[in-house]
Amino acid sequence: MEKKAVLEIKGYTKVYPGGKKAADNVNLTVESGDIYGFIGHNGAGKSTTIRAVVGVLDFTEGEILIDGKSVKKDPVACKEITAYIPDNPDLYENLTGIQYLDFVADVFRIGAKEREDAIRKYADMLEITDALGNLISSYSHGMKQKLAIISALIHDPKLIVMDEPFVGLDPKASFTLKQIMHDLCKEGVAIFFSTHVLEVAEKLCNKVAIIKQGRIIDAGDMETVIGNHSLEEVFLEVQDEES
């Protein structure tokens, strides 16, 4: 399969009011079929970068392109091919699970048959089908996370952006999500996600970027970045070196 840049972050810089830099000249490229891990300490700038990629946050300098389209200039076109799974999804608590999924499917203009098939497939895989008729307010954190995952996958996105996707998932759901990621990657979908679980990142990702205080301090193919070491050793080493 021919590799093609799906996400390009070029010189992305985010400065908060007051002058603090959340991200400083971040550059990275995620290609189709990549599972790209984004790791760093708490407050390093991972979530800010991710939120800028999915068009939620404004940024100060640079350019973010999804499938060649600018997030700033053409946000709707970018979001039509992107899926976002936040770390702590704020869903409409007073809707039922199926009402929420129908809302997302309507927004992405998915036909009745396709949405039914996609919902059934992923809800069965994540074992949440029985709870879809209940109000989201009655869901646990993990169930909300599963619902967010299904809603992100029903429109066949080209790019999936996830912020700490494994937090709150039970072991079986974590395993299922990893399988889904592998399957989608084989179909040419690009996946960009942040995580603190370095063992997972090392096993799952073919590329990785390490961010510290808003700057990328190492990035590239997993083998090149870690060499003969574990990702954990490399991560701790580069963090210490920089400080």
Partner 1 sequence: MKSRSIVLLSTLLRSTSQWNIYKHCKDKRKKGRIIGNTVGYAILFLLIMAYCVFTCVGYGKLGLADSIPGTCALLVSALAFFFTLMKTNGYLFGFREYDMLMSLPFSPKTVAGCKFLYMYVKSLGWFLAVSLSMMIGYGIYAGPSVIAYPVWILLTFFLPIVPMLAAAFVGFLIAKVSAGFRKTNIVQTVLIFVFILLMFASRFLIEDVVRNQKVDQMVSKMSGAMDHATHAYPPAQWFADGVSVLRLSDVLLLVGLSILLFEVMFLLVGRSYRKINSGLLTHGGSKKFNMNERRKRPVVQTIAAKEWRRMTGSATYMTNALFGELLVLILGGASLFVDLDAVLKKILHDAPVTKEMLIPAIPFIVYFFIGMVATTAITPSIEGKQYWIVQSLPIPKKTLYQGKMLFNMYLTVPCTVFSTICLCISARASVLTTVLSVLLGIFLCAFSTCAGCASGIKHMRLDWENEIEVVKQSAAVSLYLLPNMFATMILTVLVVVIGMKVDVVFVLLGMMLVEILLAVVFYRKAMKLAQRTI
Please report which helix (H) or strand (E) contains residue 183, including its range: helix 171-186
Find the binder of partner 1 among 5, 57, 167, 197 (CB under 8 A): 57
Find the binder of partner 1 among 12, 38, 84, 192 (CB under 8 A): 84
Is residue 104 a contact residue for partner 1 (CB under 8 A)? Answer: yes
- Sorted by sequence, the CB contacts under 8 Å of residue 195 that are 6+ apart come out as 37, 38, 39, 164, 165, 166, 201
Is residue 17 a contact residue for partner 1 (CB under 8 A)? Answer: yes
Among 80, 79, 65, CA closest to 28: 65
CB of residue 17 vs partner 1: minimum separation in angstroms? 5
Q: Which of residues 154-173 bind partner 1 (CB under 8 A)?
A: none
Is residue 242 a contact residue for partner 1 (CB under 8 A)? Answer: no
Is residue 89 a contact residue for partner 1 (CB under 8 A)? Answer: yes
φ, ψ (nearest 5 deg) of residue 27: -130, 125
Cα-based distances in Å from 189 to 10, 83, 162: 21, 11, 13
Spatial separation of the C-alpha atoms in residues 163 and 124, rounded to whole Å:
23
HSE-CB of 95 using CA atoms within 13 angstroms: 13
CB of residue 188 vs partner 1: minimum separation in angstroms? 21
Q: Binders of partner 1: how many residues, by CB under 8 A? A: 43
Q: Name the residues that contact partner 1, by CB under 8 A.
A: 16-22, 43, 48, 51, 54-58, 75-77, 79-80, 82, 84, 86, 89-96, 99, 103-104, 106-109, 133-135, 137-138
